[in-house]
Amino acid sequence: MSPIATTTTTTTAPATAGKPAPAADPASLRFVTVFPSGVDGGNPCPVVTDAAGLTEDQMKGLAAKYGHEAAFILPASSPEHLARIRYFVPAHEMEMCGHATLGSAWLLRQAGVWTSDSATVETLAGVFEIRHDASSGRIDVGQPRGRVEAVAAASIPRIARLLSLAPEDILTINNHSVLNASTSRFKTLIPIRSVERLQAIDTATFDPEEVKATCDEINSTGLYPFAVAGSGEVHARQFPRSSGYVEDAATGIAASATLYGALEYGIISGAQGSDALTVYQGFALGRPSAIQVTLRKAGAPEEGCWISGKVEEIVLEPVV
């Protein structure tokens, strides 16, 4: 795989007294925002399009420098795949990330490195399909069949306390309350009584260690409260278990998990015309986002789903 040529100028944080200047950015570093749905929308993502030679410490350091999950594109281990992608948040490496995969695929398409209708990329979580629709320019990231399981009722009060929710704020829909769902990593779906109550959750009161402990108790990588906004539409927020930041602006694999949760809740049926979900996220952060998730085949949720949304190139400043 050839590296992507770039003329993007990046700015590093200046050195402060008594501290060394931060490491120079890789020449192939690009910045995108994924799933934007308005001004300043989407989830920003640094992407190093030619990450060969970077160490794990350098990858994690770059994610910390910009305060967002970062993607690193490497040559695939097998010629049948387009590339290998590694993902780092400021705290650690991730197995797979939906928005970073979509952003990476978009950059590979823009550069002419990926020219076929579909391809596959390697990740720590396995091999994932990406596809391009020539008529619309849309790129989709494939996900396997979702898994859904109930969260023990005894754990729900702890979740409610963490989110400062009253018992009546958490709904039971179609005989289901809080669910764990996953297409790549388990997220905890928490149905909230209204969009207004969802957006009023105040992260200023969060204890990061309590978030982590709560997620560990319920075998989850993040809390994903959501509220139904209309037919085939929900608003959601993501509070990750331990990523180095409190809230995520747009989370592709949480949205795909929510698609399968929505089938259990009866929010969608899975039949033709009721086989897709639009997940709005990031509004509480001032980063409005919209994630489209659709079953690969209506009426056949066992075949998996697609994640899609807009991608735009941006300028991103360091946070450290």
The catalytic site residues sit at 69
The 3-state DSSP class for residue 270 equals coil
User: 240 with 222: CB under 8 angstroms?
Assistant: yes
215-243 CB burial, b ≥16 within 10 A, e <16 = beebebbbbbbbbbbeeeebbbbbbbbbb
Count of positions (residues) in the chain: 320
Rounded to whole angstroms, what are the CA distances from 159 to 82, 130, 178? Answer: 41, 35, 9
User: 141 with 101: CB under 8 angstroms?
Assistant: yes
Helix (H) or strand (E) holding 290: strand 289-295
Rounded to whole angstroms, what are the CA distances from 92 to 89, 141, 234? Answer: 6, 23, 30
